[in-house]
Structure 1
C-alpha cells in the first residue's frame, strides 16, 4: 500500500548512518558517566555525614561551634564563586529547559562545573550537620554531565539540548533512589511533558542505563533499604490513612510555602537581615540546627534515612519520640534551606513523612505502623513537590510496597491536592521567578531582588560580612 514504511530502505538508512550511531553511543556513554557521578556523590555525601556523626559523638557540644562556622563558610564560598549551585537544583534544570531562557544563559543554571560545585557543596552541608538531601541536587549534577555531551554530537543531530537535560535530570533521580522507573516518571511529570518522537527511545534508554549504574554499584536495593509493608487496603487503614494524607498535605504545603517565602524574601526583619548579612544569617541558621541536633542526638539532621530505618525496624514505636522528631526535623530542614547552602528536600521530606506516619500510628495505637509510615513518606513528598505519581513510584520501590499501590497513589493524590490549596508548586514557581529575574523584571514577587544570587548575577545589595 502506498505510504507504508519501506522496511528494507529504513534498515539501510539506519545501518548506513554511522554518525547517527556514534551520537547514540556518546549519549549512552554520558548516561553511564552521569550515573557514576551520582554514585561518587552518594559515597562522598555519606562519608561526610559519617565524619560529622563521629565529631558529634566525640563531643556533644562540638556541633554548636562546627555547624554555624562551616555553614557560613559554605554560603560565603558559593555566593562568591558559584551562585548557580545554591538550593535544590531542580528549579535550575527547569529554568535551563525553559524555551524563554537564552542559550548563552543556560550555563548559569546547569553545567559540568556547577555539577562539581554541587557535589562539594552538598557534601559540605552534610559535613556541617545540616538537614539537607542529596536527591534533588542529583538532578542538577546529572543534567550538567549529560549536557556536556552536546559538544561531541554532530551538528546535524536530532538530539536536542532539551532532551539531554531531561534525560540527565531523570538519571539523577533514578540513580539517587536506585529506581529507574522513578526517573522515567519524574522526567515525564516534572521535567518535560513531551519528548521528541525520534529521540524518545534513546532518552529512555539513557535514563535506564544511568539508573542501572547505581543499581550495579549498590545492589538492587534503595538508599533507604527495602521494608515489606503489609498487604493492607486503603479501607483497612481509612481512618489513620486519611489523617496521614491530610496532615501530610497541610505540613507539606506549609513547607513548600515557607521555602518559597524564603526564596523570594518577604518584607520582614529576618529576610531584611538575610539580604544585608547573608553569611551571618547562615551562621545563625546553622546554630539553631546545631541545637536541634544536640536535642535529638543527631536524629533530626542529615538526610534522615537512618531515622527512617529505625522507625520501620521498630514498627514506629520504641525509637520514636511522638510529635517531637517530626516538628524538629521540619524546622531543621527549613532553616537548612533558608541558610542558602546547596540543599535538596527529597530526603528530608521522606524522613519528615515517616515521622508523621509514626505519629499517627501512635495516636491511633495502630498495629499497622509500617504501612502508615510508608503512606506518610509518600504523602509528604507528594505535598512538597506536588508530583504525586513520582512520589508514589519512589516510595513504592523503596519500601517494596507494590501491594499498597492503590493506597499509596490515593494518599499521594489527596496530599498533593491539599498542598495545592496552600502553596503554589515549589519547583516550577522557583523556576518562573528565576526566569523573570533573568529578564530583569523586578515586579515578580516581594523582594525579588533576592533572586539575583541564584541566577549567577551579583545581588543588588552585596553582602557586607564577607
Structure 2
C-alpha cells in the first residue's frame, strides 16, 4: 500500500517540475521576444528620425501611407492586433474563464503581427508605444505553451494569460515588481493559490531575462533628485489634481468611438478603416510639423533628454503629444499608450516647473506618475515605474500620493480605460460564441 502512494507522490512531484520547466521556458521566450521588440522599435524610431531630419516634407506622404498599409494588413489578416494589446489580454482572461475561444486575441499569429506591424507603424512616426503590445505578445506566448503542460488542469488558461501579460510589463520596463503589481492591479485577477508561486516566478524570470540582455537600466533614464522636504506637499496636491483632470480627459477621448459609435465619423471609420488611417496619419504629420518633430514616435527620446538634462520644452509640447497619441489610437494601428503617456507627463512637468519656478526633476517625476496613473487608473504600477528612475527615497510617499490623487480624480470622470476597452472585444466575441438556434 505504501509503495503505490510513494510512486504517486513521485509522479506528482515530477509533473510539478515539468510544469515549472515548461512555464520557465515560456517566460524566457516571452522575455526574449519583448527585448527583440524593444530593439526593433528603437531601430524604427531612429530610422524615421534619420529620414526626416533633412526632409521635413516626408511625413506628409510617408506617415499616411504607412498608416494605411498597417491598418490594411491588420484588418485583412490580423484582426485582434489593433490598439494597445492590454484590453485584448483582459478580454482573453475573461473568455478563457468561460471556456470560449480566444485565438483571435492571444496567439502566435497575433504576437507576430503585434511586433511586425507595431514596428512598421513606428517607422511612420506614429505616437505609439511598445509596452502595451508587449503585454499581448507575452500573453500569447504563455497561452501557446499551455498545450505543452503535462496536465493542463494544473494551471488554468486564464492564470497563464494573466502571468504572460504581467511578464510583458516586467520585461518591457525592466522592472519585475511593476509586472507583479500590474497583474494584480490592472489585469484584475487573483492567481490561484496552488499555482501562484510558479506563475509569479515566470513574471520575475521574464523581467530578469530583459535585465540580463539589456543591463539593469532605467527605462527613461535616471533622475538626479536631492532629498526633498515638506515644501513639496502643496505642489504634489495640485499636480495630482491637475494631472488627474488631464489624464481623465485623455481616457475619455480614447473611449469616444466606443461610447458614441453612432456618430458619423466613427461609422465612416468602420466602413473605410484604411482611408481613415491615412487621414489620421496626415494629422499626425501636421502635429509633428507644428511641434518641430517633438510629437513623432513614442516620446522615448525627448523624455530621456528632459530627464537627463535641463532641456526646455516649448509650451505646445504637451498638447501636440497629447493630440498625436489620441489620433494615433483612433487610427487603429497596433500600438500602446504607456510611453506616450509618460512623455505627456514629462512635458507637462517641464512646462510647469518653468512656469512656476519649481525644481524641474521632482516636478517632472510627479507629473509623469500623475498622468500615467490617471490614464490607466493603476496608481501602484505607475508609481513603481517612475520610482525606478529616482535615486531619492524621500520622494516615494509623494509619488504614491500623487498617483492615488490622480487616480481618484480620473475615476470621477470615467471608467477604467483598459477595462472599458476590453468590453468592446468581449462584445465582438459574443456573436461568434453564441450557439446557433436551429430553424425549422
TM over 0.5: yes
| Distance in 2 separating the partners of 1:102 and 1:62 | 48
Q: Provide the residue aligned with 1:165 in structure 2.
A: 161
**Following superposition of structure 1 onto structure 2, how do residues 51-200 of structure 1 map, counting pairs within 5 Å?**
51-99=47-95, 102-155=98-151, 157-200=153-196
The superposition leaves residues 296-329 of structure 1 with CA deviations (integer Å, 9 ceiling, x where unpaired) of 23221211121112222333xx43113x000000
Q: Provide the residue aligned with 2:281 in structure 1.
A: 286
Instruction: Give the gaps of 5 or more residues in structure 2.
Output: 434-440
TM-score under structure 2 normalisation? Answer: 0.93
Q: Provide the residue aligned with 2:356 in structure 1.
A: 364
| Distance in 2 separating the partners of 1:245 and 1:91 | 25
| Distance in 2 separating the partners of 1:298 and 1:412 | 29
Structure-2 change in CA distance of 1:12 and 1:229 (3 Å): farther
TM-score under structure 1 normalisation? Answer: 0.88
Question: Residues 243 and 360 of structure 1 are in contact (CA less than 8 Å); yes or no, is this contact kept in structure 2?
Answer: no
Match of 1:345 among 337, 357, 362: 337
The superposition leaves residues 243-266 of structure 1 with CA deviations (integer Å, 9 ceiling, x where unpaired) of 221111111101111111134553
Structure-2 change in CA distance of 1:10 and 1:168 (3 Å): farther
Instruction: Give the gaps of 5 or more residues in structure 1.
Output: 1-8, 441-451, 456-466
| Distance in 1 separating the partners of 2:350 and 2:235 | 11
SS in 2 for 1:302: coil
Q: Provide the residue aligned with 2:376 in structure 1.
A: 385
| Distance in 2 separating the partners of 1:355 and 1:58 | 25
SS in 1 for 2:222: coil
| Distance in 1 separating the partners of 2:298 and 2:152 | 43
Q: Provide the residue aligned with 1:427 in structure 2.
A: 418
The superposition leaves residues 386-406 of structure 1 with CA deviations (integer Å, 9 ceiling, x where unpaired) of 010110011111334533110
The superposition leaves residues 357-386 of structure 1 with CA deviations (integer Å, 9 ceiling, x where unpaired) of 1121122111x1100100111001100000
| Distance in 1 separating the partners of 2:429 and 2:26 | 29
1:130 is displaced (CA, Å) by 0.4
Structure-2 change in CA distance of 1:265 and 1:100 (3 Å): farther
| Distance in 2 separating the partners of 1:35 and 1:401 | 29
Q: Provide the residue aligned with 1:262 in structure 2.
A: 257
Question: Residues 169 and 182 of structure 2 are in contact (CA less than 8 Å); yes or no, is this contact kept in structure 1?
Answer: yes
1:221 is displaced (CA, Å) by 0.5
Question: Residues 245 and 415 of structure 1 are in contact (CA less than 8 Å); yes or no, is this contact kept in structure 2?
Answer: yes
Question: Residues 310 and 319 of structure 1 are in contact (CA less than 8 Å); yes or no, is this contact kept in structure 2?
Answer: no
Structure-2 change in CA distance of 1:401 and 1:83 (3 Å): farther
Question: Residues 244 and 360 of structure 1 are in contact (CA less than 8 Å); yes or no, is this contact kept in structure 2?
Answer: no
Residue range with higher mean Cα deviation, 183-192 or 135-144: 183-192
